[in-house]
Structure formats: C-alpha cells, structure tokens
C-alpha cells in the first residue's frame, strides 16, 4: 500500500498542474459517474494529502476524497490524452492559465468519493498527526503512544495514532532507533519518540522529493541488494533470513495485526 510520501507527492503534482483552473472530471469506468458529475466543470482550488488520503478541494465546497488502498494508482499525461485504458475510475483534465494541458487517470482505488465539509472534518479528525503536514502535533501522537500497552510496532501502523506511516517506514524507523517492535507503548521514552518523529519527518520528506524511500544511512548502504530491483536498500523490510547490514544477525519475520513485520533481534532487543 502506498505510504504517506506517495500521497503528498501526488498532491504536490496535482496542485502544480491542475489547481487554479477549471477541470473536466469523468468516470470512464462508470463507478464514479455521479460523483464526477458533481464536480465536473468546477474550479479545483487546492490539492492536499493527509496521511494516506488525497483531497481535491473545489470552489463549490465539495471535496473529492481518494484512498488508493492496495491497488490504486494515478497515471499522468500531457493533453490530449488517449482513450482510457483499463478500468479508469476517475479522469481529470485541466489546463490552468499559462500551463500546458495536463490529465490524470485513477484506477483501482479503495475510495473515490465526493465529500462535504463536515464529512472531511470527520475524516481528518479520526486521523493522527501526519509527519509531512506543516504544524503536525507530535505530542498528540505521543499521548496515545506512551499510554498504550499495545506494541509500538502496531501503534505506528494505526492511522488514528500516526497518519501516513506504513509497513516500510514502520520497520525502518524502529531499526534506525534500535527499538523492538514488540516493546509496549508504555515502554517508549519521550526522548525516543522525539528522535523517531524527527527521523520520520526527515525520511518522508526525502520520499516526497525523490519519489522513493531512502532509509539506509550512507555508511550502511552496502551488502546484499534491495528486495526489489527498482528500490533502494532497506535495513530490515522484506529481508527475512538475510544478514543485518549492521551486525550480521539474520533478520527476523513475524506477523503483527495481519501485517508482515521485520526486525533485527540483536540491534532491536526485546
């Protein structure tokens, strides 16, 4: 599932290429036809992300909410776009003043819906602070974390505690701070959380800027290749059985709350 940096990168692109102009919105697939008709021909005023959610704000006050889920994806193109290929849930075409025409197709999202202001507030109110949003309140997440007897590995994935962090950032930030994913939230110190928060902010900003996760420190960027040819190296994510890049101990794998979990038992002792 795409993590928060992907949604912020999309929001930045849509803000640059579509916001400030009237857009044409359609649903070639048909599943979003009624919603598309409600915003078609309106001014797209702003695109933003909150955690794993993308929000397109229109001058009518309506907001299109997209959650990509496991299979959702946007593809972009200069205008004119060709005929839709595959199951395109939403197509947006726009040409703000002074910019070349731009279009994007959305396929396979978990959610693509039109919301009104109270519904947007209800959505954002149930999300934790997003490390990529200006003014995000790390103390709000800390209040949830240090009072909980759930494992920190589960808490970091809980979007009501912290918005935008997924499986990769969860695994890697815990390794970088030598914290076991099984340590209870009550066992995390304020100093440890401050350091982890600052690290998440820095790592996720890199993800927005370069379009991929870069989580291994330069001095450790050696040894076995990445888990995928087009991805940077990770410390532990999807490296079960392989030697730790720092100590050589085989990386361990388990399942926590139905999600795969990876850690080094030596660098991250219980």
Rounded to whole angstroms, the Cα distance separating 126 from 56 reads 19
Cβ-based neighbours of 103, under 8 Å, separated by 6 or more: 76, 77, 78, 79, 81, 91, 92, 93, 94
Neighbours of 46 (CB within 10 A): 15
Can 2 be counted among the known catalytic residues?
yes
Structure tokens at 80: 């004119």
Can 31 be counted among the known catalytic residues?
no
CB 94 within 8 A of CB 22: yes
167 pairs with which residues across the strands? Answer: none
Q: Which of these is catalytic: 12, 205, 259, 265?
A: 259
Q: Which of these is catalytic: 9, 17, 52, 133?
A: 52
Structure tokens at 65: 């909410």
Closest among 121, 124, 156 to 142, alpha carbons compared: 156
Geometric angle at alpha carbon 249, from 246 and 253, rounded to 5°: 110
Q: Which of these is catalytic: 3, 9, 107, 131?
A: 3
Can 259 be counted among the known catalytic residues?
yes
Q: Which of these is catalytic: 2, 109, 131, 181?
A: 2
Can 73 be counted among the known catalytic residues?
no
The residues carrying an active-site annotation are 2-3, 52, 259
């Amino acid at each position: 599932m795409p993590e928060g940096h992907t949604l912020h990168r999309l929001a930045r692109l849509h803000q640059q290429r579509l916001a400030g102009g009237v857009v044409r919105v359609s649903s070639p697939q048909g599943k979003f036809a009624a919603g598309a008709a409600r915003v078609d021909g309106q001014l797209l005023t702003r695109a933003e992300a909150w955690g794993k959610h993308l929000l397109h704000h229109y001058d009518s006050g309506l907001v299109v909410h997209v959650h990509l889920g496991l299979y959702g994806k946007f593809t972009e193109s200069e205008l004119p776009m060709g005929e839709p290929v595959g199951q395109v849930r939403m197509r947006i075409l726009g040409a703000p003043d002074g910019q070349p025409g731009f279009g994007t197709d959305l396929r396979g999202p978990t959610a693509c819906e039109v919301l009104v202001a109270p519904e947007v507030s209800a959505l954002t109110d149930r999300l934790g602070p997003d490390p990529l949003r200006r003014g995000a309140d790390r103390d709000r997440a800390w209040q949830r974390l240090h009072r909980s007897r759930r494992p920190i590995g589960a808490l970091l994935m809980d979007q009501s505690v912290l918005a935008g962090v997924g499986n990769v950032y969860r695994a890697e930030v815990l390794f970088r701070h030598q914290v076991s994913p099984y340590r209870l939230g009550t066992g995390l110190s304020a100093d440890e959380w401050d350091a982890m928060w600052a690290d998440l902010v820095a790592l996720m900003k890199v993800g927005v800027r370069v379009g991929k996760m870069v989580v291994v420190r330069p001095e450790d960027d050696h040894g076995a290749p990445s888990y995928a040819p087009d991805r940077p190296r990770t410390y532990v994510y999807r490296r079960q059985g392989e030697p730790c890049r720092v100590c050589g101990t085989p990386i361990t794998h388990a399942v926590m709350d139905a999600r795969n979990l990876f850690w080094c038992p030596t660098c991250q002792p219980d």
